[in-house]
Structure 1
Amino acid sequence: MSYDLMVFDPTVAPKERKDFMKWYAQQTEWEEDHSYQDNEVSTEGLQAWFKDMIEYFPPMNGPLASEDDDNPKVTDHCVGKHVIYSAFSWSVAEEAYPKMRELSIKHSIGFFDASADNGEILFPSSAVELEVTKPWWKFW
């Protein structure tokens, strides 16, 4: 089992939780007609986020895959057209959550805590209202 977080294109994701969760379920069926290991299929914002994120949490698979199999930060990033779903080792959860959230704000994309019951859904317009330095475990 992994610690899962997702970033998304806020222009296509529903803003109401119930609708968002339906959309999320559709996105994670992985039915798009492309490889889910190539960040080039995503929007510009998601691609920019990915390039920053892999400096901290290198990809497990795909053209930019890390060769360091022993590094717990190596992460399974599944790249869709409108989402990037990242499955982390639980040992790096306390570092992954704030970094992923911080970079989503930097790149004006959405953020979703897929591992939490009733996890945080953050859209760029609401990001400025929240204190980014607050520890991740205090958000719910």
Structure 2
Amino acid sequence: MSYDLMVFEPSRAPRERQKFIDWFDEQVKWLEDHEYNDPSVCSESLQRLYSKLSEHFPNMNVDDDIFEAMEEAGTENRLTDYSLGSAVIYAAFAYSVAKEAYTTIRNLAKKHKVGFFDVSSVEGEIVFPD
């Protein structure tokens, strides 16, 4: 199990809750014609956010050497499974870092003016930038 959060390009997502959930369901079918490990497919604001986020929570799918280094340092719980789409970044974090991941990604979403969705929460908090 993982603690899952998503940030999204607000101009591409509907604001009404049920329509947003339907849109989310389409996004996570991963039907775009590209690999989902390349941040260059994301919007510019999502790329900037990913650059900062992956400094704190490295992408486990990019570099095999990083896993070994983090395992040796005892920080492998920070490795994160990302799926990078044109309008979304879906991140699956270890539960042991859930609070920090939530705070970090929520603050970065606000800073970079993108939306935030707490996928793992029962309430499924959806936040659009002001």
Per the normalisation by structure 1, the TM-score is 0.85
Q: How does 1:16-27 map to 2 (within 5 A)?
A: 16-27=16-27
Q: Which amino acid aligns with 1:13?
A: A
Query: Is the aligned partner of 1:76 residue 2:81?
Result: yes
SS of equivalent residue, structure 2 residue 92: strand
Cα distance in 1 for residues equivalent to 2:65 and 2:127: 28
SS of equivalent residue, structure 1 residue 60: coil
2:110 to 105, 108, 112: 105
> Which residue pairs with 1:92 in the alignment?
97
Aligned residues: 125
What value does the CA root-mean-square deviation take over the aligned residues? 1.5
Deviation at 1:66, TM superposition (A): 2.9
Per the normalisation by structure 2, the TM-score is 0.91
Considering fraction of residues, name the structure with more helix: 2
Deviation at 1:69, TM superposition (A): 5.4
Q: Which has the higher contact order (CA 8 A, sep 6+)?
A: 2
Deviation at 1:118, TM superposition (A): 2.1
Query: Is the aligned partner of 1:122 residue 2:119?
Result: no
Q: Which amino acid aligns with 2:55?
A: E
SS of equivalent residue, structure 1 residue 52: helix
Cα distance in 2 for residues equivalent to 1:106 and 1:16: 23
Q: Which amino acid aligns with 2:127?
A: L
- Is there any run of 5+ residues in structure 1 with no aligned partner, and where? 126-140
Q: Which amino acid aligns with 1:97?
A: Y
- Is there any run of 5+ residues in structure 2 with no aligned partner, and where? none
* Paired-residue identity, %: 47
Deviation at 1:119, TM superposition (A): 1.4
Deviation at 1:62, TM superposition (A): 2.6
Give structure 1 regions of 4+ aligned residues with deviation exceeding 2 angstroms: 62-70
Conserved 8 A contact 1:38-1:63: no
Cα distance in 2 for residues equivalent to 1:18 and 1:64: 39
> Which residue pairs with 1:54 in the alignment?
54
SS of equivalent residue, structure 2 residue 5: strand
Change in CA separation of 1:121 and 1:42 when aligned onto 2, cut-off 3 Å? same
